[in-house]
Amino acid sequence: MSFHSSTRHRPMHSTPDLFDSAPAAREAIADGAWLLRGFALDQAKLLLDAIQQVAAQAAFRHQVTPGGHTMSAAMSSCGQLGWVTDRFGYRYSEQDPLTQQCWPAMPPILRQIAVEAAAAAGYEGFEPDACLINRYETGAKMGLHQDKDEDDMDAPIVSISLGAPIRFLFGGLARTDKAADWKLEHGDVVVWGGPSRLFFHGVAPLGKRAEHPLTGPVRYNLTFRKVRV
């Protein structure tokens, strides 16, 4: 995977030419979690096209939580399994409840970048069977939660941010652990494995002025998961 050199963090006096041939920068942001700034930048347009192709078959929808709240982020899924919530609970499902059809196949361009990002973070052989797609419009957010509906807790989760920037929050294994605050921007990829796989996390409301030339005032987040062992 190529890497946008201007997004690299280099020591102030290092020689740019030497540094430019180094592997993509990875920043440790928690125990087992790596931030790969700009890892998906070169492919961003293709990824956005693939999202639209998925959404043409499995429309973005605002799901309802078991507590009766309508989620502010709209969601879709592709791959073998999609994540569904309704009044009865959360679960992974092989069918889209809106169409009663299988979810669209995971576009190869999506799978490929997720597998490459996992490997770049030290998780070789990642085989995602689900890709969840979140769409945030102005004010949309996601409260602090853990991702634990997957059977396979050894596999990492890979997340790709596209479009408008957002403040991402993550804490620790307990809901009350102090949450750190990171800005996630277009093209950023985060790989969550090891202990961080079960850390509480969420995103602050998409800001009124947050936008990106390719998406306008909209942010997409892709998360790749291995659900079945």
**Which residues of the chain form contacts with ligand MD3 (CB under 6 A)?**
132, 134, 142, 147, 157, 159, 170, 190, 192, 196-197, 199, 201, 203, 221, 223
Residue number, 24 or 75, with CB nearest to ligand MD3: 75
Q: Does 129 bind Fe ion (CB under 5 A)?
A: no
Residue number, 116 or 188, with CB nearest to ligand MD3: 188
Q: Does 147 bind Fe ion (CB under 5 A)?
A: yes
Residue number, 25 or 75, with CB nearest to ligand MD3: 75
Residue nearest to ligand MD3 (CB): 221
Residue 221: contacted member of Fe ion, ligand MD3, none (CB under 5 to 8 Å, by partner type): ligand MD3
* Of residues 163, 109, 104, 102, the one with CA closest to residue 138: 163
Residue number, 42 or 147, with CB nearest to Fe ion: 147
- Write down the least CB distance from residue 188 to Fe ion, Å: 16
Residues 6 or more apart in contact with residue 166 via CB below 8 angstroms: 136, 183, 184, 203, 204, 206, 207, 210, 219
Residue 110, burial from CB neighbour count under 10 angstroms (0-12, 13-18, 19+): buried
Could you give the C-alpha distances from 15 to 2, 18, 36, 92, in angstroms and in order? 19, 6, 21, 49
Report residue 81: phi and psi, to 5°. -130, 145
**Token duo for residue 223:** 């998360």
Q: Which range binds Fe ion by CB under 5 A, 6-14, 147-155, 174-182, 192-200?
A: 147-155
CA 142 to chain centre: 13
